[in-house]
């Protein structure tokens, strides 16, 4: 595992996904913010999901989109579609946006350089969905040292050579921990962690990491938010100072997050 020298330039890992990726204008703005941060001296890694795009491609290919307990089931055909959608169209689209904004980016996946080593997830059994067992960040460090923004799709490789689909929140958090990042920012399509799911203004501004399991048990944190906050807890336990779950639909959300500020009701900070 290669760790950056954080005494030189700050390092931020950004997980970008959800409906925040669906708007072309917002996507261009987020990538322009990424370039501005890079020019200001921030080392930036963008890790992306792409569930909606994958579902759309499956539909166009005539493949069934199957979910188990709300989680995508990945069969062999879905793995092939994920390679096309995540490591292909989405990844290269983000690279193109960064370069159009004047930045330098390299699009890779967790397969490249053995970044994400996985084993099959068994509970629940979701087919070819993997749990990350090891992160090798050497390739990311090489790219960062050369002045590039690595753009990473979350496909991982098993020891047997099997390609696995990996939860993007979890993978991004593990990458942030492996790099010893200063901050981990999750840009999604929600204002933050809500105390009342029916009230977008009920954002919890700060959560201590040791409160997370109680919030899950009480039902305040549920569904797709669970892997986000659990990943956040693991990240801060690894030494990353804080995680920000922010609303990627808000203009310049990434720039605000990097500066340590959020608009009203648009972010939750998780810290030790």
> Which residues are tagged catalytic?
15, 18, 51, 169, 228
Alpha carbons 233 and 246: distance in angstroms, whole number? 16
Residues 6+ apart with CB under 8 A from 188: 15, 17, 18, 19, 20, 228, 245, 246, 247, 248
**Listed residue (113, 142, 144) closest to 34, CA to CA:** 144
Vertex 241: Cα angle to 190 and 131 (nearest 5): 65
What are residue 113's DSSP bridge partners?
Answer: none
Alpha-carbon distances, residue 202 vs 90, 234, 243, 264 (angstroms) = 32, 25, 19, 11
The distance of Cα 22 from the centroid of its chain, to the nearest Å, equals 15
Beta-sheet strand order (sheet of 155-158): 130-135, 116-120, 155-158, 163-165
User: 28: exposed, middle or buried (C-beta count within 10 Å: 0-12, 13-18, 19+)?
Assistant: middle
**Listed residue (196, 195, 177) closest to 243, CA to CA:** 177
**Listed residue (94, 248, 107, 116) closest to 173, CA to CA:** 116
């Amino acid at each position: 595992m290669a760790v950056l020298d954080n005494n030189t330039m700050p390092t931020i890992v950004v997980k970008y996904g959800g409906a925040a990726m669906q708007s072309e204008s917002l996507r261009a703005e987020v990538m322009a913010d990424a370039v501005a941060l890079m020019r200001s001296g921030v080392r930036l890694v963008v890790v992306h999901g792409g569930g909606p795009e994958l579902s759309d491609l499956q539909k166009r290919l005539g493949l069934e989109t199957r979910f188990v307990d709300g989680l995508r089931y990945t069969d062999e055909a879905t793995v092939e579609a994920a390679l096309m959608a995540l490591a292909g169209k989405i990844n290269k689209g983000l690279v193109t946006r960064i370069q159009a904004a004047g930045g330098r980016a390299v699009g890779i996946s967790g397969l490249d350089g053995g970044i994400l080593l996985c084993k099959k997830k068994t509970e629940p059994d979701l087919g070819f969905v993997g749990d990350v067992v090891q992160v090798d960040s050497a390739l990311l460090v090489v790219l960062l040292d050369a002045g590039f923004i690595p753009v990473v799709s979350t496909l991982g490789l098993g020891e047997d050579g099997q390609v696995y689909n990996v939860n993007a929140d979890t993978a991004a958090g593990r990458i942030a921990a492996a790099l010893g990042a200063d901050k981990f920012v999750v840009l999604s399509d929600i204002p933050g962690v809500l105390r009342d799911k029916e009230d977008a203004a009920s954002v919890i501004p700060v959560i201590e990491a040791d409160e997370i399991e109680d919030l899950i048990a009480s039902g305040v944190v549920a569904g797709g938010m669970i892997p986000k906050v659990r990943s956040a807890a693991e990240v801060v336990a690894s030494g990353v100072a804080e995680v920000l779950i922010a609303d990627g639909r808000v203009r310049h959300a990434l720039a605000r997050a990097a500066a340590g500020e959020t608009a009203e009701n648009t972010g939750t900070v998780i810290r030790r």
